[in-house]
Amino acid sequence: MRWTFLLLLSFFVVGFPALAFSPSWSSATYCLVAGERVIVVLKDGSEVIGEVVEENAQRISVSSVFGVTSIEMDRVESIIRGEEVDRREFDQRQKRALRRGSAAGWYSLGVWAQERGLADKARSSFESALDIDPEHEPSKIALGWGKVEGEWKNPEEIAALLDKGWRRDGANLLPPRAGTPVGPKKPEPKKPEATSPKPDSTRPGRISTPESVLGKLSPKEQKRRETELERRRQERLKFEQGKRREYEGVPWPRRSIIKSRNWQIECNSTPEVARTYQWIMEALSSTLGKIFKAPDVRRQKPVVKIYRNHDEFMLKTGMGGGVGGFYQPDSQNVVAYHGTFGLTGTTYTVLAHEGTHAFQGKKLARMTNYPNWFIEGMAVYFGDGSKLDYKKKRVVTGLIPRDRLFHIQEKIAEGRHTQLSKLGGLPRNRFSGTHYADSWAVMHYLINGPESKKGQRFLVDYWKLGEKRRVGQRQFNNLAERYFGDVDQMEADWQKYVLSLKPDPAGEIDGDHFVSMDFMFSISRPDEKWEYVLDEIQDRDLVLMRIPETRNEIRVRILTKSEDSQRPQDWIDSELLPALRKKYRDVRSFSGDLGGLDAYVFEFYDRPPEPEKKEEEQDGSADGEQGAGAGDTKSFLQKLTMAAQQEPPDPDDGEKGTAEEAPKLLKHRSYVLVGVSNAYELRGSFEQTQFDELLGDLEWVAFSFEKIQKNRW
């Protein structure tokens, strides 16, 4: 009896933290620790995974990459904690990796598993990444592969070189420095397995605010700068508190329901947010109605459901992390969630795209009569190619979305686009993500091109044809002949127009400042020797400044993440760093800050052009000797270790010689600020001999960078 009592006592005192348990009354608390990873299982069977923000008798708040989700305790069935969380979360992440089918997704899963000591699962994830992309560099590195003189070597060969004192630089192995003992390394003490992520552990150092910046400031200016940074910090806190209130909102049964002229808005964020979405949808209807004036064929008002945050959207709809919203053809409803996606994305773009589909459903008796170039091209035109004029409460259309423009221009230049003689009849089952850019470009040409009156009549006639019968390539060709001569002439005019387009300016110059409200940032130029050059920006550039008659440049770019759910460090390791190493040499990484926000910092050099190979080198050596790595591993290692005592060239000495003999290569430094779906990059590119001299100017721009805190809807 005494032992039974002790066993019962130990159960209540010690507990079983790895088990899920349920409260016997709704007001119970679980005594969770802030920052602890848990799975909250709801009574409807759905789950929320994340870190505990706070917990009390009424609710629990859990933070994930998409924001904070607050859940009422009377909806909670159980809370899982301990090792079971890692196992269950791995299964969920594995399903997402399978669904997406990308090497980057599997690599991220492998890193996640590795950080939690799940070695077997990590290895299988890296191997799955290589099954998709055999040349996926981060996964090969994670499995022990490496490059020697540009050629991949297997893990056994690499391990043998490392034992001989060779060292890694990303994928590449470098010979030991002069004076380094050559021979097997002494075994290192076994490190304990990681139990939690350490995203900064791979970065060797931190770049802080330099004296070159502070030296430009008088004591009075330094004080003013400190005041300015404190103002920014307070604004960020205030903005984040406001966003948190919006994301917490109210339970769905207590949502705001607003019936307007064309829509019924249902939103469980704050009432102010719901009213904003109401006028956004009405402004969209007004804009669409001016172009397509067909009468309504359906009487019911589409319902626009907007959940208070991303996690609740996933819980209620079963959608994955990469879905921002969707349109339901049967009910005509639009479903989305309130949020700012990363640095620039907003709910507005989702509503504009899916709302266009709802407008089509209201006006078109049979949407299936139209091919996807028409249905999706219109949605991208009004989704990606429009923005809100918040003051005038209207939608501005006809804008040029940068990603779509650069994509279609690249495809046309390389002959990979879908020609108009085929796009007009492309079956739905062959219409993929790459065709969105083609379809947007055709829609933009017809509505905004040099023959816009003809183009808009083309669209109206095409619309009317689809009201009676299924339309396809023949109808497209007939209209092309009526308005543009024929489809081949239309193709030529369309290509010329698209290739001439430039993206809309990202912002405006105000004295020394550049301010972008579309991309929510501002910078200042260091001094008057730097000039803003907005007509020469390329690809993902948002702003460019240059010292005239030199190649010294400073620019801000926008980069895209392929996986929204990737942590910043995973994206850096799996995508950004490999891309830099492929194009540049001697890539070094640090941590630092951009405008007071934690950022990744990289320094790297241009690669010199490859020397032309002599004919005998191209055909092989005269005595038929095999290339490095062609024979057995032992022979290969003997050849390589002959250079073991040679000091590798200093990166700064790589271009020594006369100006006629060697090209002038640039040295770069980048500051990267990562969001959910994209990232800012501030990059300085300078002549190597002037890098140290101009570095202070770049650091000044990084110091001046400000992320504008404002709701963009």
Domain map (residue ranges) of the chain? 2-81, 101-174, 252-363, 401-504, 508-608+652-707
Higher pLDDT, 42 or 272: 272
496 contacts: CB under 8 Å, gap ≥ 6: none
- Nearest-10 crossing angle of helices 487-500, 435-448: 90
CA 385 vs CA 379, 514, 560: distances in Å: 9, 23, 18
Burial of 690 (0-12, 13-18, 19+ CB in 10 A): middle
Choose among 518, 232, 194: nearest CA to 388: 518
In angstroms, the CA 32 to CA 56 distance is 9
Topology at the third CATH level for domain 101-174: 1.25.40
Choose among 455, 428, 425: nearest CA to 442: 455
Q: For the domain bounded by 508-608+652-707, which CATH number is listed?
A: 3.40.1000.10
In angstroms, the CA 128 to CA 511 distance is 52
Instruction: Report pLDDT for 98.
Output: 81
Topology at the third CATH level for domain 252-363: Glutaredoxin (3.40.30)
Residue spans of beta strands (DSSP E) within 321-454 = 325-328, 333-337, 340-341, 345-346, 387-389, 394-396
In angstroms, the CA 57 to CA 419 distance is 62
Instruction: Report pLDDT for 647.
Output: 45
| Mean local confidence (pLDDT), 465-478 | 93
Mean pLDDT, the chain, as a whole number?
79
β pairing state of 531-532 and 521-524: unpaired
Choose among 563, 586, 587: nearest CA to 679: 563
Choose among 544, 505, 536: nearest CA to 387: 505
Question: Quick check: helix, strand or coil at residue 398?
Answer: coil
Q: 96-153: per-residue pLDDT in tens?
A: 788 667 788 888 888 888 888 888 899 999 999 999 888 888 899 999 999 888 889 8
Task: Taking the CA atoms of 182, 184, 190 and 191 in sequence, report the sign of the dihedral they define.
Answer: positive
CA 707 vs CA 503, 518, 702: distances in Å: 22, 12, 11
In angstroms, the CA 642 to CA 633 distance is 15
Q: Which range has the top average pLDDT, 114-128, 184-198, 302-316, 468-482?
A: 468-482
Instruction: Report pLDDT for 343.
Output: 53
Confidence tier at 216 by pLDDT (50, 70, 90): low
- Nearest-10 crossing angle of helices 372-383, 271-291: 130
CA 618 vs CA 184, 627, 629: distances in Å: 36, 12, 17
Half-sphere CA count of 320, side-chain side, radius 13 A? 13
| Lateral strand order in the sheet of 172-174 | 151-153, 146-148, 172-174, 167-169
| Mean local confidence (pLDDT), 342-358 | 81
Which helix or strand (DSSP H or E) is residue 151 part of? Answer: strand 151-153
Choose among 186, 162, 184: nearest CA to 173: 162
Model pTM score: 0.61
| Mean local confidence (pLDDT), 233-262 | 85
CA 144 vs CA 140, 331, 555: distances in Å: 6, 53, 36
User: Are the beta carbons of 474 and 452 closer than 8 angstroms?
Assistant: no
Please name the CATH architecture into which domain 2-81 falls. Answer: Roll (2.30)
